[in-house]
Homo-oligomer: A and B are copies of this chain.
């Protein structure tokens, strides 16, 4: 019995969360409070998480077009010209929607579907993250 208590006391003093012991005479299992789930929500960083894509995930039948690379997002081919697309425009698969400039390369961003521009999420002339959402396109019905 003394042995059990000695083990136990050591266990308490240690930061172990779980232990088991078995001998000819007995088995002993000890665990400390490691509950599961629920905790991540109050984590300090949950609050600074960029949740753009998630926050708009409720809208169904919408396809997001994301940046293929981190770079500067341009809505028009050159400063003097009109934007490639405006909200409400119908677009075809493969149609150029914008440009992301990175490492002196102009990377065209094209539409993956036929649809209507629902939202323009990227800001013209500003840095966009890799895989950051640029456009939301509503699927054309029927």
Give chain A's interface residues, CB within 8 Å of chain B: 1, 3-5, 7-8, 10-12, 14-39, 41-42, 46-47
Contact = CB atoms under 8 A, between A and B. Distances in A.
Given A33-B32, A36-B35, A27 B21 contact: yes
A14 B12 contact: yes
A33 to B, nearest CB: 4
Oligomeric state, in copies? 2
Contacts of A28: 19-21
A9 B23 CA distance: 20
Given A17-B31, A25-B24, A30-B16, A1 B1 contact: no
Nearest to A19: B30
B3 A31 contact: no
A1 B24 CA distance: 13
A41 to B, nearest CB: 4
B35 A41 contact: yes
Nearest to A43: B33
Given A5-B10, A26-B22, A26-B23, A16 B35 contact: no
A120 to B, nearest CB: 17
A28 to B, nearest CB: 6
Contacts of A16: 8, 11-12, 30-32
Nearest to A27: B22
